[in-house]
Structures are given as C-alpha cells and as structure tokens.
Structure 1
Amino acid sequence: MTSAGTVGMDQQWVFGGVDSHADTIHVAVVTDNSGHLADAEFPTTTAGYTAALAFLGAHGDVIAIGVEGTASYGTGFTRAARATDLTVIEVNRPDRAERRRNGKSDPIDAYAAARAALSGRASSAPKDETVTGIRALHNAARSTVKARTAAINQIGHILVSAPDAIRDRYRALRGKTLIDTLARQRPHGDAVHTAVLAALKSLARRVQALTGELTAALDGVVSTHNPGLRAAYGVGPDTAAQLLITAGGNPDRLRTEASFAALCGVAPVPASSGKTNRHRLSRGGDRAANAALYRIALVRMASDARTREYVARQTAAGRTKKEIIRLLKRAIAREVFRYLTTTVTVPGIADLRPLRRSKNITLTTVAEHFGVWPAVISCVERGTPRDDNLAGAYREWLTAT
C-alpha cells in the first residue's frame, strides 16, 4: 500500500526550489512535508540545467519547482524544466521581515522557493515566451526615447551658450522645425562657429534617426499578438506592450479581473478601523502597468465622449479629479482584463479607403458629412488611432452613397 507521501516503495514526492543568478543557479529539494533533502549549485548552461533536473529527479517524483526570477535569470532553467513537462511556479523573493528572521544565502533562498511551491504561497505560472519579443522591443523603444530626449536637451543647452549669430538665427524655431533646420545646415564661419554648428547638426541628425525608431515594429508585434487590446480607445503601442508584459502571454495566469486590478495597483485596499469605514489607494502592484492605465485614462478624459460625460457626472457629485482618475483606472483595468483573457474580433478597416476612392469621394466631403476634420477621416482609414464606431458609420455611409 502506497503512503500519501510516496510513489511506490522507493520513490517519494518532492518539491524543488531554485535561486537564480547570472552565472549559477542554486537548487534545493524538500519532501512533501517540508523536510530538507539536499541542495547543490549548477552553472547557467544547457549542461548545467540538465544536471540540475537530474539532481531533482534523483530524489523523487518532482511535483513542482518554485523558481525565483522566471522572467530574468531563471528564464533558461524555466525553459528547460518546461521542456521536460515539469510544473514550474513563479516565486517572489521573501519579504524583508522573513529575510531578517531567516538570513540570506543561496541555499536559504532555494529552500524558501521550494517551500513556497509546496505550501501554495506561490501559485502563479511563469510568463510564457510569447511576450519575449514584445519585452525586447519595448525596452529598446524606452531607451530610444531617453536617448532622443537627451539629444534634444543637449541642443537646447548648446544654443543657450552659442555665439549670438547662431542664437539669433535659430531663436524663433521650435520642435521639429528646429531639428530639421539644424540637420540641413552646413557648418561654416570661424573655428568656433563651425564647431558649434557641427555639434548641433550631429545632434539634430541623431534626433531624426531616433524619432519613430522601433515604434512601427513594436506596433506591428503588439497588434498581431492582441489586436483587441491595441484597438481599444486610448491604447497606443507602448501602453499595449506594457500591459502585455505585465500580464504575460498566457492568460491562465490571470484568474480574475480583481486580481489583475491588484497586479496593476488599482484595486482599492480596505483601510477601516473602529468607526471609520473607508478604502485607500493601493501602492503595490506593477507601477509601470499602473502608469499605462493612467495614460489611457488621460487620453479618454481628453477626447472620448463617454468618458467626458462620466467625468462631468462625477465632478457634479463632488469627487475630485484624483478620485475620478482612480475610478477610471479601475474601470479600464476591467476592460483590459477582458481583452487579455478573451479573443476580441477587431473590425477591418482596409476596405475604407479603396471604397471611398472607387466612388470618387474626397476626404473633405466625408469630413463635412460627419462634422470632423479631414485628418480625422484619414486616421480612421489608416487605423492610427482606431475609432471603430466612426469606422462603422463611415462604411455604412459609403455603402449607401
């Protein structure tokens, strides 16, 4: 007769734990009643991962493996373990109180990861690799924006202390006009003027090269991965990429929309005591995802009719702007959760421009009919940004015309 903690006479159920680093991983094994069995260190190579999995299997039937850093240093081991059909559980590092109580070392952290997988304290599946490309493009795009901003700031600083002739020539120019003009100019004059103009031209060309770099690629990958999320009002390529990175590519990680709201730091936290009954703003969760929801809320408050009506009602009810934004972020999190966990069909727009041209109708005529600027109709035809309600009405009008 097999006992509850064994499989057969010699094989027992065990749980693994992995503390991952750049060059090594530390692997620990515990029994199903949390007894320590063994631990060892392995290199972060293909051979090292194979040896680590063999080490775990030698101690029993591996039920699950808790891994710290499944999306960073633990990615390689996670990939190898999943390839052998082992269950991997994402483990957060212990909190500070637990670290102060138990100490800090690779074996301690590895055993803690194993116990977290055993106890159920950690239960989230790791993010799958479908968002790896999105994460890489998103990180590159963020660094590109920082580099572009730094170059623009350098141009401003150089112009402040440039010779008067250069300052007077470019004083009235701003933004893209300034950048384009500096990129076209030919340095001339004495040594000082030539050096300053050469520096300004080099920086302006750098700004031009960085402007729009990676944005199109990121937009294409995000739109292919989740067209419904990308088509939502106020969701741009950067915002959609951040939300996909936060959620991961596998929607089974998100059990409820309330848990996703907590993950994004927009779930209200109870803060009641005695006669006080209230909630406070969550300061936890992924702050980058929280910022993404904030940007969506600002866009909708500025240009979405339904959101503007909602803001007007809440303002009349006595709520402040901060309170209204908190409510909007929570509602947007609910909407984003639906896009992340269900397949949303996005209406096509590729037929609009050919249909209009086949009927010899100009953008101005369409714009006058709908009471908008021609540029708005052009954006609808290109889907930048999308407006499916206007696109539907536009298509019906074209068909009936």
Structure 2
Amino acid sequence: MTNVRLPVNTATLEELLVFARAWPDRRWAVEGATGLGLGIAQRLLAHGEDVVDVPATLAARARVLSTGHGRKTDVHDAIAVALVAQHHRRLRPVQPEDLSSVIRLVSDHRDDLVHEHTSGLNRLHRLLRELIPGGAPTGTSSHQAAALLGKVRPTTATDTARKQLARDLLGGLQGLEARIKTLTDQIATLVAQSGTSLTEISGVGSVVAAKIIGHTGDVARFPDTHHYASFNGTAPIDASSGDHSRHRLSRRGDRQLNAAIHVIAIYQISHPGPGREYYLKKLAQSKTPKEARRALKRRLSDTVYRRLSNDHEASQAGAA
C-alpha cells in the first residue's frame, strides 16, 4: 500500500494529481464529500477525476472492524475509506455543484438570520418587560416594540440604559428583517428558475420548496421512496418485540428536510383536503394524533419524492 500525507493548502490538489499519475485508471474516495470533504471533492471533479462519496458512518464501521481496533488516526481513516470504496457497490458518485447547491446555501443562510432575529426579539421582549409595567404582549413584533418603546420615559439611570439597549436591538432587528426579505425574494426566484413542481403540493411555498430541493440534492441517488423516507427521517423504526408489533419515531435522517415535511403536514392537517382526510382516517383507526401525523409525513415524503423524480426526469429529457 502506498500512502502520502499532504497539508491542506492551495497546492494540495496539484500534489494529489502528481501523486496519482502512477494509476491512470483511478477512482478517488472522499469521506464526507458533501461536508468537510466538499472542497477537495469538487476540485477533483472539476479536473475530470472520478470521485465517490464515502459516508462517515460507513468509514467508522470499517475502522472498527480493521486491525487498528477502531483507533482514529489519519492512516487508519484513509485505510477505512479505501476499504469501503473497494467493497461497497452503492457509493454515490460525487456530482458537480448545481442550482440545488445555490438554493441550499441561500435557504440555510435565511434560516440562520431567522434564528438570529428570533433570539434578538426575545432579548428585546425581556427588556420591554423590565421597562413597561405589565410587560409587552407575547408575540410583539419589532414594529409594535418600536411603538411601545417610544412611550417609555425612563426615571432611573438603569432604565435609561435599558432603553438604549432596546433601541440598539431594535435597529439590528429591522436590519435583519430587511435582509430576510431580500433572501426570501431571492429564494422565490431560484425556486421558479429550478422549474420544480413541488409548489403545486398544498402547503409548499417557495421557502419550504427551497429547503426540500437544497437538502435533497440529487434525487437520483435515492432508488425508491423507502430510501428517501429513511434519508429524511419519516420512515418509522421497527421496535417490535415478541408478539408486540410497534414502530417508533426515527430521530435519524436530515432534520432540516424532516422539518420541511412537518410544516407541510401541519398545514394540510389544518386545511380541508386529502391530507386532512388521511389524518382523520388514521385517528378513526385509533391512532394517536402523533401517530396519525407521522403516517401523514411518511405519505408526504412519497409525494415529495415522486415530484422530485418527475422533475429530474423532465429536466434530463429537456437536456437531451
């Protein structure tokens, strides 16, 4: 076995290609090619190299079964990744980043700003509670908070400091709201550009569609609805024992994708239509509300998968 250890810098790619010249018929295996290994995987791909993605879970299993007794070192990691690439027949070829990658970046950035906005609004609400007798109503928006703050007349130095901090927070929140709106408009444009039919599903707007497209990536890597449901965490886990047959909620899978499907389920449960009818049918079968909601999410996962697959086939046919 030949190995080489290289520092990660601007010269790494060239050094790897020079090292690999001895093997003209080659394939590169990168652990976490959509995560920490994204950069090198995409650079290799751009140079026409054949690259496959080795999930970290598979590499960890190979490392445990190796002679290194599961020790995590650079050499053992490399051997584990190579063994998986050699023997696993269903590794996903790395694909060039495309529109779905852009959608995911913009969608995730919007989510980060929304979380930051929520945190800031909570801090502002806490200050208003200390400044206003009886506090501010729950769910106060930044616009409403500004009106309340304008009526506050501090009587102590501490309250003066509180009001100044609240004003600073308010300014930051208004800036965040403007940025979130810009990103929301950008997402709507990107989703329309993708030509997806997801928005035809009841409860799916451009923001939810963007999360689904971005976190699904290449839908062709999923052989069927069952694999996709396992990936997004809507496939229940068998927890049967003896004569008792039962399933429990899966905490695995892409949680962002699972959250998007959850949003669709909640919307459909709340509005008349096939989704609500299916939910009520499950309740009539003595399912608990949670069990009925999980069943609906699993069904929605299949619907989303079929839409994505049809869109992918249509785009491939159009490209041909």
1:179 pairs with 2:142 = no
- What are the residue-to-residue correspondences of 1:139-150 with 2, within 5 Å? 139-150=108-119
1:297 pairs with 2:265 = yes
CA distance in 1, matches of 2:52, 2:70: 22
With normalisation by structure 2, the TM-score equals 0.82
Deviations 1:7-41 (A, max 9, x none): xxxxxxxxxxxxxxxxxxxxxxxxxxxxxx21112
Name the structure 2 match of 1:347.
Answer: none
1:241 pairs with 2:207 = no
CA distance in 1, matches of 2:156, 2:32: 57
Higher helix share: 2
**Matched position secondary structure for 1:142:** helix
How far 1:182 moved relative to its partner?
A: 4.9
Name the structure 2 match of 1:40.
Answer: 4
What amino acid maps onto 2:140 in structure 1? G
What amino acid maps onto 2:83 in structure 1? R
The answer to whether the 8 Å contact 2:29/2:54 transfers is yes
The answer to whether the 8 Å contact 1:44/1:76 transfers is no
Residues 75/334 of structure 1: CA separation in 2 closer, same or farther (3 Å cut): same
Structure 1 gaps, min length 5: 1-36, 345-401
- Of 36, 48, 60, the match for 1:95: 60
CA distance in 2, matches of 1:173, 1:85: 56
- Of 156, 160, 174, the match for 2:129: 160
1:134 pairs with 2:103 = yes
CA distance in 2, matches of 1:280, 1:150: 32
1:108 pairs with 2:71 = no
Name the structure 1 match of 2:177.
Answer: 211
How far 1:155 moved relative to its partner?
A: 1.5
RMSD between aligned residues: 3.0
The answer to whether the 8 Å contact 1:68/1:74 transfers is yes
Name the structure 2 match of 1:61.
Answer: 25
CA distance in 2, matches of 1:189, 1:276: 67
The answer to whether the 8 Å contact 1:233/1:300 transfers is yes
**Matched position secondary structure for 1:102:** coil
What amino acid maps onto 2:37 in structure 1? G
**Matched position secondary structure for 2:93:** coil
What amino acid maps onto 1:204 in structure 2? L
Deviations 1:277-305 (A, max 9, x none): 44444332222222221121111101242
- What are the residue-to-residue correspondences of 1:353-392 with 2, within 5 Å? none
How far 1:139 moved relative to its partner?
A: 2.6
How far 1:105 moved relative to its partner?
A: 0.8
CA distance in 1, matches of 2:40, 2:216: 21
What amino acid maps onto 2:168 in structure 1? S
**Matched position secondary structure for 1:101:** coil
Name the structure 1 match of 2:318.
Answer: none
For structure 1, which segment, 153-162 or 97-106, has the greater mean C-alpha deviation from structure 2 after superposition?
97-106
CA distance in 1, matches of 2:138, 2:54: 53
What amino acid maps onto 1:197 in structure 2? K
CA distance in 2, matches of 1:338, 1:219: 22
What amino acid maps onto 1:86 in structure 2? E
Larger Rg: 1
What amino acid maps onto 2:292 in structure 1? I
CA distance in 2, matches of 1:306, 1:90: 39
The answer to whether the 8 Å contact 1:226/1:340 transfers is no
The answer to whether the 8 Å contact 1:71/1:127 transfers is no
For structure 1, which segment, 49-58 or 38-47, has the greater mean C-alpha deviation from structure 2 after superposition?
38-47
Name the structure 1 match of 2:34.
Answer: 71
Tell which has more relative contact order, 1 or 2 (C-alpha 8 A, sep 6+). 2
Name the structure 1 match of 2:316.
Answer: none
Deviations 1:257-278 (A, max 9, x none): 2111111112234444544444
Deviations 1:206-225 (A, max 9, x none): 22222251222223223322
How far 1:246 moved relative to its partner?
A: 2.4
Name the structure 2 match of 1:265.
Answer: 233
Residues 45/339 of structure 1: CA separation in 2 closer, same or farther (3 Å cut): farther
How far 1:247 moved relative to its partner?
A: 1.5
CA distance in 2, matches of 1:320, 1:86: 51
Name the structure 2 match of 1:319.
Answer: 287
**Matched position secondary structure for 1:337:** helix
CA distance in 1, matches of 2:138, 2:285: 45
CA distance in 2, matches of 1:87, 1:201: 55
CA distance in 2, matches of 1:120, 1:152: 49
The answer to whether the 8 Å contact 2:13/2:40 transfers is yes
